[in-house]
Amino acid sequence: MWQKAINSSISISLEDNEGNDDQEQAGVEDNERDNGNNNNDDNDDNDVGEDEDNSGDSAAAEKKGDAPEPGAGMEQDKQVSGGNFPNEKHGWGLKRNDEHQQPEMPSWLNSMLERHDSYWVGSPEDKVIYLTFDEGYENGYTPSILDSLKANDVKAAFFVTGHYLDSQPDLVRRMVDEGHIVGNHSDTHPSFPEVSDSEIKKELQVVEEKYKNITGQTGMKYLRPPRGEFSERTLAVTRGMGYYNIFWSMAAVDWVPMKGGAQEAYEAVINNTHNGAILLMHAVSKDNAEAMDRILKEIKNQGYTFATLDDLKR
């Protein structure tokens, strides 16, 4: 069951929100890596939270290559619209704490998320963790991560881009075969508030079609907004398509190598666990892959259980 955000004010300026996820977008990898945590500097007037936990949905993580013609071979377009909802852009980011408490969230944002069935954390009463990964391109570490998940009997959600589906069909099939959820992370990883309703629909439908061609499955229902950027309009459009927007309550700057390597990756997670956490990680990280088995075992040792987004959803 989804936990409603806490009614408290918190600074709405952010420096390394998931906008780093921008690096995941086709054709901008090198640029975005240089920008590191600052991909949302031009929108910081409405960024959510403060700093470290904005997930760098690593811009570098989503990748390269020319996008296919949007909408090619797709099923009939779903009739949805953002209507008159505001299109003010926000970047997701939360300030971490080492007290194992859920982050605070402004009441205005909590209300917006609830209106559109969006999620960022589970119940504060349940010692449960929801594990998610963003997959923009393959850096050679997803097989190891999948091995660790299987060895520890943990199911996760993997949010994939169009490029990832094009380049890694075997890994996507393995995710499905081993019981993981595959979610939509858009085709070319644009900032949704910066594109039209119809472009958003095409971005998601291209991924749906590619996923269907690879796995034979339909009915994708979980979305991680590219770059962690959203507006009330984009929440409305995507919910109208049947998607639940999935944000996160803990993350780390893991789309680039960590100075402390696998030990730092381990501590970044273990020091910030909390009830109902939706944990965002990037599978492009060697450090994450090397620490994964230890992370999963220690989370269980702390008395947590792992659940899936299907368990979280109302």
Q: What angle do CA 216, 218, 219 make, to 5 degrees?
A: 160
Q: Which residue has the tokens 């998607």?
A: 243
Q: Give DSSP secondary structure letters for 217-234.
A: -----EE--GGGEE-HHH
The answer to whether 116 is a known catalytic residue is no
In whole angstroms, give the CA distance from residue 184 to residue 207.
7
Pair type for strands 222-223 and 244-245: parallel
Assigned token pair, 74: 């797709």
Sequence letter at residue 217: Q
Catalytic, out of 21, 47, 51, 134? 134
Assigned token pair, 23: 């690096």
Assigned token pair, 227: 């770059």
Catalytic, out of 57, 197, 282, 287? 282
The answer to whether 282 is a known catalytic residue is yes
Say if residues 47 and 93 touch (Cβ distance below 8 Å).
yes
Active site residues: 134, 282
